[in-house]
Structure 1
Amino acid sequence: MFHQSYTVFNQCTIAAILLIRTYALYDRGRRILILLAATIVVGATVAIWSVTSEGNLSNSTESILHRHGCDLSISYQQGLRLISAWASVLTFDTLVFVLTVSRAIQSNGLWRGGLLRLMVRDGAAYYGVMVIVNIAGIITNLTPVSTARGMCTSLTNVISSTLVSRIMLNIRDPKRRVLVDCRISLGGITLETPASECTHPVSEEFDDVMIIA
């Protein structure tokens, strides 16, 4: 029960981080906020129901007494209920990935270097790995072996926490902002900026910035 409850809490936290990331990507659009928040609420409701439903609380005392260590086995009925929770996570991840790619295409950020392309790349890596993990979780919940059901729960917590931390920290990588001497041409007038004040990111988006070696 603890592992299942912790997974719900962990996935809701990750969903909140992805919501903030996508909300900022769409310039704090209210429609995007409502869409993502509603998806999280529905998914969390389904997950809480699948964990706290009456069938999930009826573990066999006899089977627990005959096993050593932490018993994570669940019944077949419990596995079927937990599939809905896995499906909710997969649905939200798919929505976030589609919105990220759509925003990048609209802003032409998918084909040029820059922050949008970085977010799409990291988002694709996160989504691809989580799809594999979620499908593995759904398959294991359908296996006839009770001890194999739910075996991907801890794995999902570890991988999802690590990946979502990576995609957030990668955006704040100090190596992506270089301090250089530069000249900015404005209306034929060339302005020289010292290194301590020139903080323009080195990317293809700033065609009017000349880097001085």
Structure 2
Amino acid sequence: MSEVRCRRLQSFHQYYAMLTQSVIAAILLIRTYALYNRSRRILVLLVATAVVAGSVSVWSILSERNFTFNAETAMHLPSCDLSISNQQGRRLTGAWSSMLVFDTLVFILTVLRAVQSNGLWRGGLLRLMVLDGAAYYGLMVMANIANIVTFVVPVPTAKGMCVSLTNVISSTLISRIMLNIRDPARRVLTEGHIPLGKITLDTLATECTHTVSEDFEDVMIIA
């Protein structure tokens, strides 16, 4: 494979990573927006941060075309050479750092919402969202830091080696977050305390009918 085709393959991989992270950021944005009862201020804050992070990512990838191939950093292997220069590594570090900033903002907003509503201590759906968000943020911080470190190390063969791993981890974690919320065993009532899995509609109807009957009998006795 020629060097030109190798570089195109590398660019495709970077755009694919950016697309994956954009989908994940959109899910986190909608999730946080719903958590704040569709607050426009939160929406503007999240969208502005996401736009800045996306702009930095696009700039980092497009700016690579201005760099010439450095033969000194090449791996000189009889295959597709996807080595990254030091300049390219620094630019891509900015892209992944901006994603880390967005994840940090989402995590802070989730924790603040839980503390303000005391939902963190009472249990329920909000507690589940906070715990899942904390697990996602903790693992993504480690993955992003490892990814950033690989871009700044002087070894050409190590630059960008954690990009695929970071994408796989983030995709798996965001899928777990969404599926965990939709788990029938975790459905709650309006107050967020009683699981619906233990209560059927017949039971609710029976209890409501019994309560109404008792109240009606009490009214008749008083009358």
TM-score under structure 1 length normalisation = 0.81
Tell me what 1:97 maps to: 107
2:37 to 17, 27, 34: 27
Aligned to 1:84: 94
SS in 2 for 1:28: coil
Aligned residue in 2 for 1:45: 55
How far apart in 1 are the matches of 2:178 and 2:85? 37
Segments of structure 2 that go 5 or more residues without pairing to the other structure are 1-10, 188-196, 214-223
CA separation in 2, counterparts of 1:61 and 1:151? 19
Match of 2:190 in 1: none
Query: For 2:75 and 2:157, how far apart are their aligned partners in 1?
Result: 14
* Aligned residue type for 1:190: T
Q: Structure 1 residues 91, 129: CA separation in 2 closer, same or farther (over 3 Å shift)? A: same
Aligned mate of 1:17, from 18, 27, 30: 27
Residues 156, 184 of structure 1: alpha-carbon distance in 2 compared, 3 angstrom cutoff: same
Tell me the residue number matched to 1:130: 140
1:117 to 127, 133, 142: 127
1:77, distance to aligned residue in structure 2 (A): 0.7
Aligned to 1:146: 156
State the match for 1:190 in structure 2.
Answer: 211
Deviation of 1:21 (Å): 0.3
Moved over 6 A (4+): 61-65
Is the alpha carbon distance of 1:4 and 1:57 closer, same or farther for their aligned partners in structure 2, counting shifts above 3 Å? farther
Between structures 1 and 2, the one with greater strand share: 1
CA 1:143–1:99: 2 relative to 1, 3 Å: same
Cα deviations across residues 149-188 of structure 1 (Å, max 9, x unaligned)? 0001101110000000100110000112313324767xxx
Distance 1:54 1:176, change over 3 A: closer
Matches of 2:93 and 2:66, distance apart in 1: 13
Q: Which has the larger radius of gyration?
A: 2
The Cα of 1:67 is off from its aligned counterpart by: 2.2
More helix per residue: 2
The count of residues paired between Structure 1 and Structure 2 equals 190
- 1:56 to 1:141, Cα distance in 2 relative to 1, 3 A: farther
1:3-31 residue CA offsets vs partner (Å, 9 max, x unmatched): 21111111111000000000000001111
TM-score (norm 2): 0.78
- Whether the 8 Å contact between 1:72 and 1:151 is mirrored in structure 2 is no
